[in-house]
Amino acid sequence: MMWELISANRRRSLGLFVGMAALLCGLGYTIGAVVHPNGGGIIGLIFAGGLWMVLASMSIFGGGSLVLRFSHAKEVSPDIHPRLHNIVEEMKIAAGLEKMPKVYIIDERAPNAFATGLSPDDSAVVVTAGLLSRLSRDELQGVIGHEVSHIMNRDMQFMTLASIMLGTIVILSEVFLRGMWLSGGGSSRRYRSGQGGGGTQPAMIVLAIVLAILGPVFARLLYLAISRRREYLADACSARLTRYPAGLADALEKISSENIPLHAASQATAPMFISSPLREKKGGGISSWGNTHPPIGKRIAILRAMTQGAGLGAYERAFADTEGEKGLIPSASLKKAETVALREPTADDAPTSPADQERSVLDLMRAVNGFAFLVCTCGMRIKVPPDFEGDSVECPRCHRKNEVPRAKESDVSDAATVMAAAMGVTQAGGVAGTRSAAGATTGRRDQVLEYKRRGTGWESFSCACGNLLQLSPAFRGSQLQCHKCNRITRII
Amino acid sequence: MGGLIFLGLLVLAVIFFIGLYNSLVRLRNRVKNAWSQIDVQLKRRHDLIPNLVETAKGYMKHERETFTAITDARSRAMGADNVGARGKAEGQLSGALSKFMLVVENYPELKANQNFLALQEELTSTENKISFARQSYNDQVLFYNNKIEMFPSNIIAGMFNFDVEEFFEIEDPTEKVAPKVSFE
């Protein structure tokens, strides 16, 4: 059913896409015909198509990573936030994706999330630090389910191509209208006088102007309508994947109650976020036609109305009850109506006090940015910036000198045996022997580094190459490899 | 001319059937993949248990029975030689783990241990992954079975022995309930 929905979605998208393409071609042709009556139409058509292709290929080769760079998102390892990684993996399994999406965090307080990537095999889920600190496990799962649904339904692929189509239409009509305005009636007079009787037909000019004025408006409305529809669909899929619509509803409630602006968002990236990061017009009817997202209150109401089950059919019924219209989900995929049972909630464990939330946001931001965490004897937690070079820091509270933790050379010189012991592998004597001989000749590089953990909280130490390595409270491994010099440090 | 058209149509038909065959193979692989995903997660749960027991033992001195139930079910699940016995043992393991998670509530010191909290998150997530993997497996099976029964792919399926796959049914009712992790 999930899969049937995806194929139905793809067919529908193709239809809309063809409609937009026809609009673009028509615009290109009429403009060409006005500018040059003899054969100009074809040239205009080719020009419009070419412009779209150039813009589209530009966004395909670098679109995804560009968005990530614009929003200052940082890719994080599972150590930084184990729960986030777990939940993304849960949703990846539920959606049957072949590859795990990459996980990024933006260090901003505004709670929001988005997904990006042009194919399900090369995708990313991005959340803000503010979102992570406010939501409980179930709520976060709902949000990630929504984002993974976007990936599964190939929404980014489609929305990117559609938005470029829209952009091309806007550019073409703008250039044409400006050209007409600047030259006034002159251009038509020139053609008329220059070519005798074979001038541009007035009807064609009128048609071109009408298309140039109305085309962008229609294309924009079409684009926004698709965007809103896809949001509803992602909500429906999220409920289906998590089997717990209340989680997403609670999350949306929390997100909508915050009023913190998101700096990373722009007009172009707005449709990707779970809730619009821009100020949207409230209320229904015509005033909401210009929004990228459906009103958040309605989304919550629909999710809350799903009391019977978590399937797509249940969402469609709830949608029909709340919205008063039908047909969100293609009926072909609703025929084999399945019942998906709702899941029990996991106990709420979100930090409730604003102080706790604030602290966890700050910790997360620092961990993401490569800060080191030092706990002084007096209990003060000192955060050392990643470019700190000295050997010790003075505690701001008790003025004790604290050594900046660094991995130390181990007494055991034979790297191979240490590693084998650490991994619980008994190696054949011969192999270990040759390894240690090689270690002796290459010298220091095979020397094993050691770092002794101080506690169980956030900790970090610098590798011999100076790169800072993080240990999260969840770290339980016996060794850690530096991302820069690839040396391995034993954690004891 | 007529022969040429016939040849063209034949080539098109062959290409069409090759496409159908390939899509059936792809779907069958998805089903297999989804099945192995369940296995991966069950194995992950087995790997987590020694750590969990080791961490909790020091705090929970009076819960020997709970621990034995967990470790016994685990070794039975790992040693089972047929699917039925394995399913049963995994079901008992789920039951024992959910009981353990309830008992944990009586030990506030354990719940303050960062290491234990991390393990608890891993366990919750693994239980989720197991149930999501099953759900996804059933989705894939439904889609695959529909394809096999529908025209025209049913012709190819009949010719090349694509068989209908079975759904994953949960026999043991206790297994349906994932251990509830509560922090109250």
Residues A2-32 pLDDT 10s? 566 666 666 666 777 777 788 888 888 888 8
Chain B nearest-CA distance from A64, in A, is 27
CA distance A232 to A198: 53
Query: Does residue B182 sit at the A interface (CB-CB below 8 Å)?
Result: yes
Query: Does residue B23 sit at the A interface (CB-CB below 8 Å)?
Result: no
Q: Considering only CB atoms, which chain A residues are within 8 Å of B136?
A: 93-96
Q: Considering only CB atoms, which chain B residues are within 8 Å of A103?
A: none
Query: Which residue, A215, A166, A168, is CA-closest to A52?
Result: A168
Chain B nearest-CA distance from A98, in A, is 9
- pTM for the model: 0.76
- Residue B80: φ, ψ to 5°: -60, 140
Which residues in chain B (39-58) have CB-CB distances under 8 A to chain A?
41, 51
The dihedral formed by the CA atoms of B112, B115, B121 and B122, expressed in degrees to the nearest 10: -160
CA distance A378 to A399: 10
CA distance A312 to A139: 19
Nearby residues of B31 by Cβ (< 8 Å), 6 or more positions away:
B137, B140, B141, B144, B165
Kindly state the average pLDDT of the residues B87-113.
83
- Choose the closest CB to A82 out of B30, B37, B121: B121
**Tokens found for residue A161:** 């191509």
Specify whether A139 is catalytic: no
Chain A nearest-CA distance from B74, in A, is 21
Nearby residues of B139 by Cβ (< 8 Å), 6 or more positions away:
A1, A2, A3, A96, B34
- Residue B151: φ, ψ to 5°: -80, 145
In terms of phi and psi (left: phi > 0; alpha: psi -120 to 50; beta: otherwise), the region of A159 is alpha
Per domain, the residue ranges of chain A are: 1-352, 354-491
Catalytic position from the list A147, A231, A316, A459: A147
3-class secondary-structure state, position A381: strand
Domains of chain B: 30-176 (1.20.1440.20)
Burial class, B22, CB count within 10 angstroms (exposed 0-12 / middle 13-18 / buried 19+): exposed
How many cross-chain Cβ pairs, A to B, lie less than 8 Å apart? 77
Contact A10, A154 (CB under 8 A): yes
Residues B37-85 pLDDT 10s? 888 898 889 988 888 888 888 888 778 888 888 888 898 888 877 777 8
Nearby residues of A57 by Cβ (< 8 Å), 6 or more positions away:
none
Of A44 and A470, the one with more pLDDT? A44
DSSP secondary structure letter of residue A33: H
Chain A nearest-CA distance from B99, in A, is 15
**Tokens found for residue A232:** 């509803």
The answer to whether the complex's ipTM is over 0.85 is no
Q: Which of B47, B126, B135, B146 to mutate to test the interface with A (most CBs of A within 10 A)?
A: B135
**Tokens found for residue A19:** 């409609």
pLDDT for the residue numbered B57? 83
CB contact under 8 A, A347 and B34: no
Residues B88-97 pLDDT 10s? 888 888 888 8
Q: Which of A84, A90, A98, A340 to mutate to test the interface with B (most CBs of B within 10 A)?
A: A90
CA distance A306 to B102: 29
Contact B68, B52 (CB under 8 A): no
Nearby residues of A54 by Cβ (< 8 Å), 6 or more positions away:
none
